Amino acid sequence: MHNRNVIIILSSDTEFDPPSHNDSWTNRRTKALLDGLPRFLELCDSYDAPATFFCEGRLVEEQPDLFRELTNKHEIGCHSYNHEWLGTRRPPRWIPLKEQLSVLPPAGKEAIIRRAAESIEGAIGMRPRSFKAPFNSVDHPSTLSLLDRVGFDSDSSLPCYNTASFTHPLHPTPCRRASAVDLWAAGDLNLIEVPFMIRPRPLFFHPFDIREEVIDTVSRSMKLALESVDVQCRIDSLSGRDFTFVQVTSHPWEFSEMGPWGGEGKANIDRLQRYLDELSRTYEVEFLTVTEFIGRWRHL
């Protein structure tokens, strides 16, 4: 496996700090975000790696200079406008202030996603092509159709732990609901799923009662995180594919030393770096953005 090619996608849900104390989902801060982001960027620079930043539209509107600068090397994707819930059922218990999040009607959901894409384009002069839902809340093919209609090339709201898909890109995934199989088989969508890595245990369902921080992906079990890539390499090799990919996602505030949403930033960046170092020692690695990977995938 040492000569195996592994494509690594570093992605970041780039958002306001989650609400705490007297904050709300409409009134959030950037303290931990701005403290942790430089550490993540330094990590990217150390590998000469472009990253995909899935950004809230409102954040890009408020910090246009920051995100215009990021486009010099990195990809700016979309993470909705103000971290809205895009699922078709109520948010789970683990989400802070879940009572403030509503289940949107289709028209309201489309308006928010279009506003998010347009606000990012207006701020940086470039329309986002990749999407990742807040809370990974895309749970129905109607939302995938909406994303396709708005003009996104890819969605990364799907964790890779579903054994029906593991980490293969899909077109789109057949494991959301039974009705999604029809969309996938018919080839009605141009949108491609690019799953992300989260606690890489293969499970049989898509629950919403888990967290997605890099500390879950890597530090809870470095051995498990590495073994999952090895398993995927073997699956791809048996399938005749000469490369494997893994998308590792995080949040800038995870790398902050400020509480309550930071506090272990240096430890988390060290864990992520050790993980990437081990992958680099074991495989022939290449770093791509989501859209760069999609471009290559389409030409296979």
Segments forming the whole domain that contains residue 286: 5-298
The pTM is what? 0.87
Query: What is residue 177's predicted lDDT score, i.e. its pLDDT?
Result: 39
| Full DSSP string of 194-243 | --BBSS---BSS--SS----HIIIIIT-HHHHHHHHHHHHHHHHHTT-SE
Provide the residue count of the chain.
300
CATH code at position 170:
3.20.20.370
Cis ω before 172 (30° cut-off from 0)? yes
How many domains does one find in the chain?
A: 1
11-68 per-position pLDDT tens digit: 999 999 999 777 899 899 999 999 999 999 999 999 999 999 999 999 999 999 999 9
Q: What is the pLDDT of residues 217-241, one digit of tens each?
A: 555 567 777 877 887 788 778 878 8
Q: Which residues contact 172 (CB under 8 A, 6 or more apart)?
A: 141, 144, 155, 180, 183, 184, 189, 191, 192, 193
**Any bridge partners for residue 10, and if so which?**
51, 248
Q: Which helix (H) or strand (E) holds 274?
A: helix 265-282
DSSP 256: -
pLDDT at 162: 43
CB 174, CB 181: distance < 8 Å: yes
Q: Which residues of the chain have pLDDT under 50?
A: 1, 162-186, 199-215
